Amino acid sequence: MTPLTQGEVAPGVPGATVATHCPYCALQCAQTLTATPGGRLPVTVTGRDFPTNRGGMCQKGWTSPEVLRAADRVTTPLLRTADGGFREASWDEALDLVAGRIRSLQSESGHDAVAVFGGGGLTNEKAYALGKFARLALRTRLIDYNGRFCMSSAAAASNRALGMDRGLAFPLADLGGADAVLVLGSNMGVTMPPFVQHLAGVRERGGLVVVDPRETVTAKLAADGAGLHLAPVPGSDMVVLLAILHVVFAESLADEDYLARRVNGVDAVRRSVAQWWPERAESVTGVPAETLREVARLLAAASPARGGRGAYILTGRGVEQMAQGTDCVSAAINLALALGLVGRHGSGYGPVTGQGNGQGGREHGQKADQLPGYRSISDPAARAHVAAVWGVDPAVIPGPGVPAMQLLESLGTPGGPRALLVHGSNVVVSAPHATLVEERLRALDLLVVCDLVPSETALLADVILPVTQWAEEDGTMTNLEGRIIRRRAATAAPGEARSELWILRELARRLDCGALFSEDPEVMFDELARASAGGKADYSGVTYARLDAGEELFWPCPAAHASDPAHPGMGHPGTPRPFLESFPTPDGRAVMHAVNHRGPADDVRADAPIYLVTGRVLQHYQSGAQTRRVEELAQAQPEAFVEMHPLLADRLDLAGGDVAILTSTRGQALAPVRLTTDIRADTVFMPFHWAGEGSANRLTNNATDPTSSMPEFKVTAVQISAARVAAAAIESEGALR
C-alpha cells in the first residue's frame, strides 16, 4: 500500500493512509493511520519513522484509535435538564442558548462575567482562535489554560535568563552524543518511553544522572548503566543544584571564558552559592556530599570547555511544579551557563514539555498575559501589530487577565466570572485543591464544556459540545523541541461532532463578529503566522505547503524576503538551535539570577509527617479522561494507588492491598497500598489520573509560585492511616453513644 503524499488527505477512504502524530504527549510520535471504514475502529495505527520516536510508540500511542469510538463518546450537543440529567439538542439550539446566556450575563455584569479556560492539547490553530475569540468575541480579559500547570515555571525562568522560552532549544537527537545528561524531576521512561532511546549513548558511557525521590524507570536506567540516581528529600532539588554549582565554582570547573563573553550576573550567583557547600546541602537533601561533588565533576568533564562530547541539563514537572519552581529552574539554568552548555553544539539546557501542544499552546494567545507570537498583551507595539492583523482598533483588545488558579478560585464569587467556557481541559481532576475547584464550577451561572467524552468537568456543565479528535482534524502542533508538525485527518468524526474552529466561528457569528473567524485550519494558521511575525515565537515563514513538503521547521522561522542575504530565494530554514550566536536579550547575553532555597509551602509537620509526591503511570495520560476509556489501558492500571516503602507501611500498620486514607489540609483521598523499595521511606507516591476518592489532587497544594503562578503539585504534607482503623474508630464512637 502506498502512503499518501504529505499534502494529501483522504479521510474515510478504505485503505487510505495518512501521516500524522500521536494525540498524547509533547514527543508527538509520528504515526501512520490507515482508514478502515466499516470496521470496529475507523483507523488502524502503525509507528512512523521520525526524529523524535524513530518509529516507536508507547502503549498509549498503539491504542490511540480506541478513543475514537469510546462507548460514551459525545456525538451531539447536550443540554442539562431540570432533573440534573442531559438531553440531546441541535447545534442551533445549543449555540443560541450559549450565545444568549453570554449576552445576558455580560449585559448584567460586564465583559469579564465570562471567562475561558483552554488546553495544552489544542492545535496551534485552535489555541490561536480561542485567544482571539476571548478578546474579540467575548471582549473578556479572563482567559488562561492548563499549561499554567505544566510549563509556566520553566517558561518564566527561561524567559528571564535566556530571553526566550523554547522548551528544548535543540533537536532531541542531539542528546545521543553527550557524555553527561542530568535529569531532574522527569520520568520520561514512563511518561514518553520513546524518548529514552536518545539517552542510550550517554547511558552506555555512564553519564546519565537522575534526581528523583523515587527510583523510577528512568532512574533505574541511570543506575543500571553505571550512572547515578540521587534521591533527595522532596522539595529540596534546588539545594542539589546549588551545591553542584558551588563545587563547579569552588573547584574552578566553570567555563570562565564563556561566562565572560556571554553571561551577565555571574558574580552575584557565585557569591550566593558559596553558602551551599556539599556537607551543608547533604544535611538538607540527604544526598551524600561526595555524590554532589561527583556529579559536578562529571558534568564539567563532559562540557565543551574541557574537551568532552557535551552535557545537558533537563528539568521536568517534579522540580517545576513548586512554589519555588521558577527559582529552581533558574538554578538549573545557572549551572548550565556556568559550565558553558547553553548555545553550544552538543550541549544545552531544556525543560521536557509534557502536554501534546504544551509548547505551541502557550505561544499564540491562550495565556492570560500574551498575544500571538509570545507577545506581551501589555506592550503597545504588540497590541498594535496584532490588532492590525485582526482588523480592529488596539483599544478593543482587553488587558492582561489572571493566571489559572486565581481564575478558577474566583469563579462564581461576588464580582468574579459567572460563566466559563472550557476547551481541552478536565480541571476537576487536573487542578490542585480539586474539591475547591469543583465547588467553584458548581457556583457558576453557566458552564460550557467542549469535549469528546463526558469528563468529570463536562458532567458539571450546563452545555456539553462534542468536538473532533486528532484523527478527525487537520492542523499543526509544536512538539517539545519547538518543531512545528502537521496533524492530518484520516477519518470523519462521528455524529454531530465539530471542530472547535467551527464552534468558535458559529458562536462569534451569534456575537456579531463571525467574519473575523474561519473554520478552515489553514486559513487560521496563515493568520496566526502573520500575527506572530516579529515576535519571539515567529511562525511567519511557516506554511502548510512547506510542512507538507517535509521540511523540518523549528521556530523562530520568520518570513524570508528576496533581499535577505542569509536565505536568498528561499524560505527561512527555521531555527533548531536558537542560542548558538547570541541570546534574544537586549544585549545578546544570558542573565544568571541568584536564587535561594525556601522549601515547600506545605512542609511536613507533626500532624502531617509524610511527603506526598504525584506523577504519572505508563498507561494513563493527564486526567485520564481518554486513557481510562481504553480497555487495555484501564485493565493494566484500573485504579488509583498509593506507593510506599515497606518500612513506612510497617510503621503505619499497613500491608500491601490495604486501603489507606491520606489527609492534607485541603482534603482526603483513599487508595490501596502498593509496597516498593523504590521510594524514600518518608515519602509516598500517588498518580493523578483518577477522580473521586482516589483523586490525588484533592490533596495537593494550590499555593503558587510568585513569578509563574505554577501551583505546588509536587510536594504535599499528608497524614496517612488505615481505612480499617478509621472504620473501627467510627464503629466504636457509635457504640459509646
CATH number where 436 lies: 3.40.50.740
Question: pTM for the whole thing?
Answer: 0.95
Q: Distance between CA atoms of 737 and 735, rounded to whole angstroms?
A: 5
Q: Integer distance in angstroms from the first to the last C-alpha of the chain?
A: 76
Indicate if 643 and 710 belong to the same structural domain.
Answer: yes
Positions of the chain with pLDDT under 70: 1-12, 561-569, 725-737
Task: Report residue 468 as a C-alpha cell.
Answer: 473532533
Which of 69, 88, 103 is the last residue before a domain boundary? 69
Indicate if 30 and 138 belong to the same structural domain.
Answer: no
Indicate if 336 and 375 belong to the same structural domain.
Answer: no
Which of 69, 89, 108 is the last residue before a domain boundary? 69
Indicate if 160 and 286 belong to the same structural domain.
Answer: yes
CATH number where 644 lies: 2.40.40.20
Mark 648-669 as b/e (b = at least 16 C-beta within 10 Å): bbeebebeeebbbbbbbebbbb
Please name the amino acid found at residue 535. Answer: G
Indicate if 65 and 126 belong to the same structural domain.
Answer: no
pLDDT, one tens digit per residue, over 654-693 is 999 999 999 999 999 999 999 999 999 999 999 999 999 9
Is 564 among the domain residues? Answer: no
Indicate if 165 and 121 belong to the same structural domain.
Answer: no
Which residues share a beta bridge with 187?
Answer: none
Contacts of 443 (CB under 8 A, 6+ apart): 411, 412, 413
The predicted pLDDT at position 359 comes to 87
Indicate if 212 and 266 belong to the same structural domain.
Answer: yes
E-assigned strands of 65-189? 78-80, 86-88, 114-118, 143-145, 180-184
β-strands 143-145, 114-118 pairing: parallel
Indicate if 104 and 65 belong to the same structural domain.
Answer: no
Is 341 among the domain residues? Answer: yes
pLDDT, one tens digit per residue, over 255-312 is 999 999 999 999 999 999 999 999 999 999 999 999 999 999 999 999 999 999 999 9
CATH number where 187 lies: 3.40.228.10
The predicted pLDDT at position 9 comes to 44
CA atoms within 13 A on the CB side of 30: 17
Which of 332, 351, 370 is the last residue before a domain boundary? 351
Q: Distance between CA atoms of 17 and 34, rounded to whole angstroms?
A: 4
Task: Report residue 216 as a C-alpha cell.
Answer: 523510577
Do the beta carbons of residue 625 and residue 685 sit within 8 Å?
no
Domain count, the chain: 4
Do the beta carbons of residue 662 and residue 671 sit within 8 Å?
yes
Q: Distance between CA atoms of 95 and 74, rounded to whole angstroms?
A: 16
Give the domain extent around 719: 610-736
CA atoms within 13 A on the CB side of 299: 36
Do the beta carbons of residue 245 and residue 331 sit within 8 Å?
yes
- The DSSP 8-state label assigned to residue 605 in this structure reads B
**Main-chain dihedrals φ then ψ at residue 423, nearest 5 degrees:** -130, 115
The predicted pLDDT at position 563 comes to 54
Is 90 among the domain residues? Answer: yes
Indicate if 627 and 729 belong to the same structural domain.
Answer: yes
Do you find a cis peptide bond into 556, omega within 30 degrees of 0?
yes
Is 476 among the domain residues? Answer: yes
Is 591 among the domain residues? Answer: no
Indicate if 132 and 161 belong to the same structural domain.
Answer: no
Is 198 among the domain residues? Answer: yes
Indicate if 616 and 699 belong to the same structural domain.
Answer: yes
Is 160 among the domain residues? Answer: yes
Q: Specify the 3-state DSSP secondary structure of 191.
A: helix
Indicate if 136 and 59 belong to the same structural domain.
Answer: no
